[in-house]
Structure 1
Amino acid sequence: MRQSSPTHTLSTGERILRALQLIVERQPDISVKELAMELGVSLSTAYHLVHTLVAAGYVVAEPHRSLRPGPVLFRLLEHMQPRPTQLEGYRPLVDEVGRMTGCRAYLATWSDRDVEVVYIHGRRGVRELPGLTRGFRGAAHALALGKILLAGRTAVEWPPYLLNESLPRFTPYTLCRRAVLERELAMVRASAVAFDREEYALGSTCIAVPLRTTEGIAQAALGISVPTRRFQVERDMLVALLRQLSLPEGLSAPNEE
């Protein structure tokens, strides 16, 4: 008797992989309805796929019905991509900033045409940015960390999702026009400090400064996330502190090989 081929199982697996690919490539501007159309499946089938991915932590469904990669994907990416050893020398600086400010502190670098979070300091209970775990990539225009790293690079080095006039939206405050982003980056270059004012997550404002090599190149970005109300009161103090600590005389930067 001839055995039946596992057509249904294979088809389901292909759909899941294709769904993940679409969600990663088009974050955060793809909905379940759009996913169903791209996959050529019914809306109920698409909801079932998304529910499976959300339950496993591979996808996060935002309240406004858009989909983005979940924490499990970023943890997998972290295991697959070991970071350059010279960046490890910045960890004491990130830890010190976290302790002194009481904020969650982040270290990010530029990797394969996008911002990537490589280290985080923050105890439980300190405000977190949703999904911004070690290994997170993307949303460069919506993060202060990303703006620092974008400001030192030409558009040909930017990720594909920033090459259109309309940029992915995360909150009502995200800079969604490329021309507006470019004006913001000009200010970042002039001031050597970047902000995101609830542009990635409502209720959170972020500040970031560059960590420069001896040649003056921004090798990494150092940032903190602050409740917006606190930012409105302590902005100048926090900016001054970050600037001071990011200088070579603040805490020593790592030696380059």
Structure 2
Amino acid sequence: MIGSVQRALRLLEAVSSHSDGAPAKQLAREAGLPLPTAYHLLRTLTHEGYLRRDNGVFVLGDAARRLAGVGLQQKRRSMILDSLAHFRDAVGAPVYFAVYREGEIEVVGVSDTPANPACEEWADFRQTGYAHAIGQCLLGQLDEQARKDYYDRHPVEAITPFTVGDQRRLERRIGSLQRMQPVTERQEYALGTVCAAIPITAGGAAATMAISLPLHQENRLLYAVDRLQSEVGALLSTLSFSISI
């Protein structure tokens, strides 16, 4: 154990318990440290950006806030992956969660097993949204201008013999989707794979959950996505956290 690190952490804990900051003497007392030791560590923590001195009191600095933010992100991701694992086991297929954020498709989490592996990302999911169920489901939740912006940056093209490689045909397909209707695709992104995605309301962003199956299990696809859709409501409070990750 490194004593100086322990003492510094106790000081950080003491500072974090005071939203308006606290003076050195009070922090030393709360951390159980001699005042000279506390002064030395407070100066070091301030120099490194973990603390900031303001009108004679110490408050958390930007570095400490970034550290706390990383921990919160990790906790949120863990919650999401735990939830996805539950649904993976319920439907017996790999489960994906993705959002459309800042003009790009982002797969936030994937849960699979060795017996039921996820689809290999052989072509960048972000750039080929027109070819897979995840992307088509997200694009279907956008307005026409937002979709045009996506197509301008990622032109529609066939990446397998089954891909809808024409933007007008793709727009007709997306336009025919009913609200909350699952989106399915057959070998449009990856040969030998079928996928389905359902739209999700999570925060104010377009989001989706999806599953994939090997082609020879295609007869299970609709059952699996129906099962996912019937249970997904219980997961929404957890998934909405991911929008801020």
TM over 0.5: yes
What is the CA RMSD across the aligned residues, in angstroms? 3.2
Aligned counterpart for 1:227 among listed residues 198, 214, 219: 214
Q: 1:234 to 1:194 in 2, by over 3 A?
A: same
For 1:173, the equivalent position in structure 2 comes to 162
For 1:238, the equivalent position in structure 2 comes to 224
> Which residue in the other structure is 1:105 paired with?
95
Map 1:83-162; keep pairs closer than 5 Å: 85=73, 88=77, 89-131=79-121, 136-158=125-147, 162=151
- Conservation of the 8 A alpha-carbon contact between 1:114 and 1:159: no
Q: Which moved more, 1:100-109 or 1:217-226?
A: 217-226
Larger proportion of helix: 2
Cα distance, 1:164 vs structure 2: 9.1
Which amino acid in 1 is paired with 2:87? V
Deviations 1:158-195 (A, max 9, x none): 37562499722211011111121112212334452111
Q: Which runs of 5+ in 1 are unaligned?
A: 1-81
SS in 2 for 1:153: coil
Alpha carbons 1:161, 1:167 under 8 Å: kept:
no
Aligned to 1:33: none
**Secondary structure in 1 aligned to 2:237?**
coil
Structure 1 residues 243 and 87: CA distance shift in structure 2, 3 A: farther
| Superposed structure 1 runs of 4+ greater than 6 Å apart | none
CA distance in 2, matches of 1:166, 1:137: 12
| Structure 2 unaligned spans of 5+ | 1-69
- CA contact 2:92–2:224 (8 Å) conserved in 1: no
2:141 and 2:206 in contact (8 A); partners too: no
Q: TM-score, normalised by structure 2?
A: 0.58
**Percent of residue pairs bearing the same amino acid type:** 22
3-state SS of the aligned residue for 1:176? coil
How many angstroms does 1:144 deviate by?
0.8
**Which amino acid is 1:208 matched to?**
A
Kept in 2: contact 1:104–1:128 (CA 8 A): yes
Residue aligning to 1:44: none
User: Tell me, what secondary structure is at the counterpart of 1:212?
Assistant: strand
Change in Cα spacing, 1:166 to 1:112, as seen in structure 2 (3 Å) is: closer
Summarize the alignment of residues 1-257 of structure 1 with structure 2, pairs less than 5 Å apart: 85=73, 88=77, 89-131=79-121, 136-158=125-147, 162-163=151-152, 167-213=156-202, 219-231=206-218, 233-247=219-233, 250-254=234-238
Tell me the distance in 2 between the aligned counterparts of 1:172 and 1:239: 25
1:5 equivalent in structure 2: none
User: What is the CA distance between 1:140 and its match in structure 2?
Assistant: 0.7
How far off its partner does 1:132 sit?
A: 6.2
Report deviation, 1:142: 0.9
Task: Name the aligned partner's letter for residue 159 of structure 2.
Answer: F
Q: Greater Rg, structure 1 or structure 2?
A: 2
